A = this chain, B = another copy of it.
Amino acid sequence: MKLVIIGGLSGGMTVASQFRRLNTTSEIVVYDKNPYVSFANCGLPYYLSREVSERSDLIARTPEQLKNQGIDVHTEHEVISVNDKENYVTVKNLKTGDTFDDPYDKLIVSPGAQANEIEAVKHAPQSFVLQHLHHLDLIEQYITENDVKHAVVIGTGFVGLEVSEQLRKRGLEVTILQHNERVYSTIEEEFSEPIKEEMDKNGIRLELNSEPVKLDGTKLTLNNGEVIDAELIIQAIGITPRTDFLKSSNVVMNDGYIPVDEYGLTNIDNIYAIGDAIETHYQHVPHKKVSVALAWPAHRLAYIIANHLAENDQYKHDGLLSVSILRYFDVAVGKMGLSLKDLEDEDYIIVEQTQNNKAGYMPGAKPLSLKIYVDKNTRKILRASGIGEKGLDKRLDILSTLTRLGGTVDDLINIEVAYAPPFSSPKDIVNMLGYKAIGKL
């Protein structure tokens, strides 16, 4: 059996190595259009400030290690089309410009997504996105060679925020632009206020309702007429699934995203898809579709696909809760469940609680705020979100576990937390949310 994998990051490469463990004889070929594979893309921003101290720490597996695992990796090779009738991919060697066809028995589509860019700045030498290891190298090189003192980050999604934090910690002046008034719109407006405060506190200049319209050298003109200095520009304005190459195939797509079934299969019975380009559904609200461009879902689905390739169909994908978290300087913000938009047609009550993350008399106790959206009929938590300096990740994990297991707010009061004064309270915030929700329903 010959397995061809398009994309050598969290999705594709995890399938490769998981399947290799289950099957030592099949041929595994990976094509990736970028120069590097198998690195920790979530960790890239943290190298900018040397919070991750060594670039090599970001490499999960080297090409040699992959070769020794019997995984045949071709970097700078872009798959430009898929022929699902005759089972081959057409590949362009980006170094030589040559194209060739390569047949497969099973195909894994893990192309990821492309960072969006703004026409006014995208062609400038100082303009970058940060998705891949070579982007990081280019940014590093540019900062060093040009002794960059001031950076402009465009976009306040999680990449924009992480990059702004890291460049600031590196010592650069940082301006961050948001095209409207909503910073980190993944999260409720009230929880984005503390993010703005962190910017203020840390000397990051936030420009709301600002879009670049013209770049002249390092002079960036904004839509409000203001001209700012832009020695370095990092664009972080969202992503688009990189699935154009599938248009010539019969793989069904939905707005560029590839729907997959419980085994990660597309509509074609020997083509799987995984990673940022797929569309799945919420586990707790199965009729609603969701795409989650994060590493956790890719790793999980990789396991399911690898097993299915090995003819073990006991593991099934049953949707995602779309849990995410972001650290921004001293605060963490995060959410579980439906997006704010997906909540719109639901019938819910809102319950909020703010209390210390641990016993209030302990040093370092910090206020933590959580908000849950509870379905009026099922009493399940549709969405939870929150902010705090400490302990948010723990509570999102509790709520995620409860929700995945089908729990309701009635179960919330009985969640027995590991309590000692350095860790929590005898009435933890998740318990209190349960009491409040029951009272309100």
Contacts and interface: CB of A to CB of B under 8 A. Distances in A.
Interface of A: 10, 40, 42-43, 46, 51-53, 57-58, 158, 283, 294-300, 303, 315, 318, 320-327, 332, 334, 336, 359-363, 392-394, 396-398, 400-402, 404-407, 411, 413-424, 426-427, 431, 435
B422 A323 contact: no
A10 B426 contact: yes
Contacts of A363: 51-53
A300 to B, nearest CB: 7
Contacts of A414: 300, 318, 404
Contact of A42 (B294, B327, B405, B420): B420
Nearest to A320: B416
A324 B422 CA distance: 12
Contact of A405 (B334, B406, B422): B406
B413 A359 contact: no
A273 B387 CA distance: 38
A394 B430 CA distance: 13
A40 B361 CA distance: 9
A155 to B, nearest CB: 17
Given A300-B413, A405-B405, A427-B299, A419 B43 contact: no
Nearest to A334: B418
A283 B417 CA distance: 14
A420 B324 contact: yes
Given A46-B361, A296-B417, 12 more contacts: A43-B359, A43-B362, A51-B362, A158-B420, A297-B416, A315-B413, A324-B420, A394-B394, A401-B401, A401-B402, A404-B416, A405-B411
B53 A393 contact: no
A325 B51 contact: no
Interface centre among A158, A298, A423 (most CB of B within 10 A): A423
A389 to B, nearest CB: 12
Nearest to A317: B414
Contacts of A424: 393
A411 B315 CA distance: 11
Given A40-B359, A42-B421, A58-B361, A405 B401 contact: yes
Contacts of A336: 416, 418
Nearest to A419: B296
A400 B394 CA distance: 12
A430 to B, nearest CB: 8
A291 to B, nearest CB: 15
Nearest to A18: B435
A61 to B, nearest CB: 13
Nearest to A400: B416
Given A398-B398, A426-B295, A43 B361 contact: yes
